[in-house]
Structure 1
Amino acid sequence: MNGSGLITRRGFIRGALLAGLGGKALAQGFAGLSEGADGFAPVVPGRTFAFPADHGPHPEFRIEWWYVTANLADARGVAYGAQWTLFRQAIAGGGPQEGWANQQIWMGHAAVTREDTHRFSQTFARGGVGQAGVEAQPFHAWIDAWEMRALDQVNDDNIASCELKASGTDFSYTLRLDADRPLVLQGDGGYSRKSLREQASYYYSQPHYAATGILTVDDRPIDVTGMAWFDREWSSQPLAPDQSGWDWLSLHFNAGDKLMLYRMRQTDGQHYSSGKWIASDGTAETLGSDDIAMTPLTVTVIEGRKVPTAWRIAVAKMALAIECRPLNPRSWMGTSFPYWEGPIRFAGSHTGMGYLEMTGY
């Protein structure tokens, strides 16, 4: 409630979301990701992706997101990170209903990170009433005034160029995202397995964005440049009941290569891993669990949770052996569905920077 004792519109939407998802969803993150997928479309191998259509929403699936992370620096070399995320969650199956009967809940997260600070904000909206949504062509994803939108002459096959905007009470940013290379289908042609069972998502990325723009922190505007990574993913049940969350990294190598990898944590310790090595010449190679070793090095205690914020990563077949360190180990997203997300740097056999996300801790 606000100071007058009235329930705000945002509070109502947030309460409806939490009530609709239940306690198990809170334990595992947004959308009750391990719940059975009855009433929603299944994720199966062999999908043919079509652009720009697949840049838009897929309401027959339970959950999807449009996700940007950016590693940035100012003219003095001070490092920053920026995050922009739009989630769509269906609280019931079936065809979309009109107005307030619409089954879609939208949630936005935004953050700016520096070595000495981490600022974040969240917002909620109900589908069907124009507060949030995604249009495939021309591409436009928005929740209230936060948006990712195509600029003139956008190339639908690489979703560039785009403008990205978000703001909180003590930060804001406007970034331009340009890319001259195509999208990357993750997993097996965009079919991304999350376990040895049927859990999977449809997943593609644009890891080649060059970012330029302005961050504002405490009313001070800062010109920044850097690299950004865009992920698109949708599913109806991406977690198995015995999986508690995931550890995900996107890495930009100074030599020009890119790497995405994740570890789905299982209660029996037999974690499931997957990844994609994207060479500087545009060729890509899928990595499996046997190829990837992820070892926590340092634990940071945040809100009573033990979060592994530094990692050793090894991929023997690519001669990769690195240690990843966070720009700010307290990059905690204390949102309704809390998780850790922040920029990292790494060194060892390879050097560079990227982003780390960890859920379920």
Structure 2
Amino acid sequence: MLRFPLIITLLVLAIFACAVLALSSGAVLTDWRLAFAWWWPGFSEDFSALQLNVVTELRLPRLLLGLIVGAVLAQAGCAMQTLCRNPLADPSLIGIAAGAAMLALLVIAFGPQLGLSGHYWVSAAAFIGALVTSLLVYQLSRSSHGVNVATLLLCGVAINALAAAVIGLISYYASDDALRLMSFWQMGSLAAVTWQPLPMAFASLGLCSALLWYRRKAINLLLLGEQQARYLGVNVPRLKRELIVLVALGVGAAVALTGIIGFIGLVIPHIARLLVGAAIPRLMPVAMLLGALVLALADWLARMAVPPAELPIGIITALLGAPFFLYLLLQQKRRLYA
């Protein structure tokens, strides 16, 4: 197992290299100097104003959003897997992403008839759907003894099934143009991001990430079990409630901005756990850096795969994440039967 500072350093360098790659290459022009030309006057003289605008107005905001969304999704995955004490748990397991998708697709399909067309209405609907779903699941799973994890997971399964049925109903009545937009949104993309929503996105996602990091020691004690955590002074019911709300807010904001991006919250914590172990103070920052790196790299691959068009980023993350996840399951099976 590599040392923690070395892994952090390598991940930071990898993110820097990925940022240079993402800013300097694309359908318009590929030149490594573009990654520095937008802020270094010595390189900016070699490029036109249009080429610099492509970097500052298109590539840079989607890179920044990809980094923060990838970090938050991976961090939320760490929190959910610790809360459920299940390595197969991810933020979408309790229906957060499904609830966000249900309201967002409703606006995409029928919003124009109600005067609610536009990216902002879709984002607002996705965020409200994630928040309402998380509160509903929390209320259903709450008892006099706190939140029951088994009931929480079962409620999430039921919410996912209900949301899938409603999405199918929306798809049945939607127009052909709306169906295409709905399909593209469900696969996730960073293509529509601009500078305008980024301050609010960084504020909401940054707040959720900071609060989860603030509670890292209490989350780490949950690894010992709920009873042992209580003996060590952790208010377990309150901690569960906080984790559910913070994960819902973080994932809801991410889904509202990018659509549904799978496998980041599921696979990235596994990879980080292989590198630094299960201790949350080490696992969480490594998972966040790794999630940011993977999502930024996946976005670059989505842009470069079929230029000048681009693939939905959810396809790239699924193609990268699913085989690795199957590999992890096979390795775990071999250790179990060894």
Higher relative CO (Cα under 8 Å, sequence separation at least 6) belongs to 2
Structure-1-length-normalised TM-score: 0.24
Higher strand share: 1
Larger Rg: 2
